[in-house]
Amino acid sequence: MNVDNQIFWMLIEPVHAKAEAFCRKLAGNKDDGDDLYQESLLLALRKFAQLRDHSALRPWLFRIIVNCFKNSLRQPWWKQRKVISSGIRQSGNFDDPRCEYELNRWLEKALKSLSAENRALIILYEIEGWEITDLSRILKRPAGTIKARLARSRRKMRRAIENQLSRNINFNSADEVIYALQRNKTAD
């Protein structure tokens, strides 16, 4: 192993867990997230010699992850794998596991309504707790642009959830009416 590779792995070690968790959240499940992380690490290792400032490794690595994720979404539809698990959030303290499942499902649907870059932006800011200045550096956009995109992304996620809720409410109320009619017929 050459010296650059040793330095790379030494620098990656402190950010490894956060980067891996980010990949899993971004991809929507553990398996696709692990694949994304592996692909991103391989690319980062190949490009490590181009990184001038080793203290900027964290934003540099996360930019690579976001770009790899965006590139994976550009694949033809027959090469894309569908996300079938709702494992966006691995931890939670819920009495009823159905609550956690529903919450993950709603969050996954809301995140899917966003573009790959906006999804990454929301996850990094809202879930990972990154600062606007760090996001600005990663995405190479002014802080005002980042704030505006966060606001638009939140609105879009909110609309996606509201649309889904309105469909569910209509569906559930229709079920109740049918059930009530059947119940009344049998009672007579």
Alpha-helix runs per DSSP H in the chain: 3-12, 16-27, 30-47, 57-73, 97-112, 116-122, 132-139, 143-187
86 vs 114, which has greater pLDDT?
114
For residues 66 and 125, is the Cβ–Cβ distance under 8 A?
no
Q: What CATH fold (topology level) applies to the domain 3-187? A: Butyryl-CoA Dehydrogenase, subunit A; domain 3 (1.20.140)
Residues 116-129: tens digit of each pLDDT: 889 988 888 888 88
Residues 171-187: tens digit of each pLDDT: 444 444 343 334 344 44
- The residue with tokens 């007579």 is 188
CA distances from 148 to 18, 32, 61, 109, 153 (A): 25, 29, 24, 21, 8
Check whether 76 has a pLDDT greater than 70.
no
Q: Out of 100-114, 136-150, 157-171, which region has the weakest mean confidence (pLDDT)?
A: 157-171
Query: Quick one: pLDDT at residue 187?
Result: 43
- The residue with tokens 């959240």 is 25
Instruction: Give the whole-angstrom CA distance, residue 131 versus residue 134.
Output: 5
Query: Quick one: pLDDT at residue 164?
Result: 78
Taking the CA of residue 6 as centre, how many other CA atoms within 13 Å lie in the half-sphere pointing to its CB? 3
Report the percent of the chain where pLDDT is more than 70.
74
Check whether 152 has a pLDDT greater than 90.
yes
Residues 80-112: tens digit of each pLDDT: 444 333 343 444 444 556 766 777 777 888 888
Query: Quick one: pLDDT at residue 29?
Result: 84
Q: pTM of the entire structure? A: 0.52
The encoded tokens of residue 48 equal: 């490590």
Selection from 17, 68, 30, 70 nearest residue 46 by Cα: 68
CA 155, 26, 93 angle in degrees (round to 5)?
Answer: 85
For residues 175 and 181, is the Cβ–Cβ distance under 8 A?
no
Query: Quick one: pLDDT at residue 96?
Result: 59
